[in-house]
Structures are given as structure tokens and as C-alpha cells.
Amino acid sequence: MASSKEALDRFRMWKKSNTVLKVTVLTKGEKPETLTGTVSAIDEELLLIGFAVPRIKWFRNVCLDGASFTIGKRSLLAEISAEEVLTCEEL
């Protein structure tokens, strides 16, 4: 398990380097939502992360308040709730 500070550090690094990510949001009972984009915004107080896919002008916010994190060498997994999981993988 990693702390929210460690997770925010990773998101800041990805935002600063404009790293392209495969982002998947899995919600129980729904089809997975996957995008390829970059971290475009970080609100550290609300633990809100914004992802953007510039070529199609698409933007998605994910609130990670209360999430538990697992950080890999090139990935991050956030268990937001028992029913929602976010994965980010460097491409």
C-alpha cells in the first residue's frame, strides 16, 4: 500500500513529464471506461485528478479521496471503493 502523498507525487511526475497513460476506470456492473491521455490537472486538497485526451478534446475528473493506492514501477492502482477501481499505466 502507498500513501495518498506518494500517489500525488506520481501524478505530479506524470503531469510534469506529459507522460501518456492508459487510464481505466472499472465500476462494478458497468463496462470499463478506458482512455489514452495525460494528467491535465491535480487538486491536492480534494484529491481530484483530471485526465485529458487532447486530440478529441475529452476531459475526465476522478476523485481519489479515501482511496487506497498501489504503485508499481510504471503504474498506479487506486481502489476508490469496493465498487470502483482506477488503473493508470505508462505507455
The per-residue pLDDT for range 63-82, each reduced to its tens digit, is: 999 999 999 999 999 999 99
Higher local confidence (pLDDT), 74 or 56: 74
Mean pLDDT score of the chain, rounded to an integer? 95
* pLDDT number for residue 64: 96
Position 22 confidence tier, pLDDT thresholds 50, 70, 90: very high
Which one is the CATH code of 4-90: 1.20.1260, 2.30.29, 1.10.10, 1.10.150? Answer: 2.30.29
The whole-model pTM stands at 0.92
Q: How far is CA 63 from the centre of its chain?
A: 9
Q: Assess whether pLDDT exceeds 80 at residue 51.
A: yes
Residues in CB range of 86: below 8 A, 6 or more apart: 23, 24, 25, 26, 62, 64, 67, 76, 77, 78, 80
